[in-house]
């Protein structure tokens, strides 16, 4: 069983709140850099006032002091989960963990779901990249640094669950139905497969945001995420 998180990848708070009015069963929402930049902390407070749990996905990657300051601000707002990038290094990750305290779960972003082995290799200047091994390496650094979990594509969930054990959160974007468009993501899976492999949270955006009936799409995905044979 996995929790469903709706990615509020919409241009304005008004559009996001209007959509949420139609999804009363929703528990988790993800706020990314576009909406956060445009609407700011007021949006976060509004979501929390609706008794929603907020996943702030800004993928902080900076010097340790700066990242720690951003994590502190997120914790003080009441955010439930937030992301830092594992490529920021151990000192940055450990500083973030200290700032998070016990009420904010920090997640380490490993390899973006838009990247395949070739594009990731070009980004890091390597030609021999094996993505699952790279995700496993970065995930281990994140958990060893004290983070509460990691973000990875559906394709790496099973190897990370085996390597990291049962406790860390594994938060998975790139969730699609069998007939859904891939969009700009190259490593995707169904909600059932991701949950069966050990994901704890499934981040879904376009399959709900672009649905003619978002509430029905949410219900379908929530049923898939229950994964009764997991």
What residues are annotated to the active site?
59
CB-based contact 130:155 (threshold 8 Å): no
Distance, in Å, from the CA atom of 67 to the CA atom of 54, rounded to the nearest integer, reads: 19
CA 206 to chain CA mean position, Å: 14
Give how far Cα 2 sits from Cα of 36, 43, 117, Å.
25, 26, 27
């Amino acid at each position: 069983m996995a929790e469903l998180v709706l990615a509020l990848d919409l241009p304005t708070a008004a559009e996001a709140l209007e959509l949420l009015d139609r999804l009363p069963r929703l528990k988790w929402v993800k706020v990314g850099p576009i909406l956060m930049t445009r609407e700011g902390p007021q949006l976060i407070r509004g979501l929390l006032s609706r008794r929603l749990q907020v996943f702030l996905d800004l993928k902080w990657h900076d010097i340790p002091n700066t990242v720690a300051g951003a994590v502190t601000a997120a914790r003080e707002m009441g955010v439930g989960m937030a992301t830092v990038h594992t490529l920021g290094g151990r000192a940055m990750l450990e500083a973030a963990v200290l700032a998070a305290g016990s009420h904010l779960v920090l997640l380490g972003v490993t390899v973006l779901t838009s990247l395949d082995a070739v594009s990731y290799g070009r980004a890091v200047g390597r030609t021999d990249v094996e993505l699952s091994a790279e995700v496993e390496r970065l995930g281990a650094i994140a958990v060893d640094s004290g983070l509460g979990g990691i973000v990875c594509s559906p394709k790496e969930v099973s190897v990370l669950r085996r390597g990291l054990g049962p406790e860390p959160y594994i938060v998975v974007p790139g969730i699609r139905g069998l007939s859904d468009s891939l969009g700009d993501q190259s490593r995707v899976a169904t909600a059932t497969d991701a949950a069966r492999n050990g994901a704890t949270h499934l981040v879904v955006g376009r399959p709900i945001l672009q649905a003619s009936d978002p509430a029905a799409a949410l219900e379908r995905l929530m049923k898939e995420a229950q994964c009764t044979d997991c």
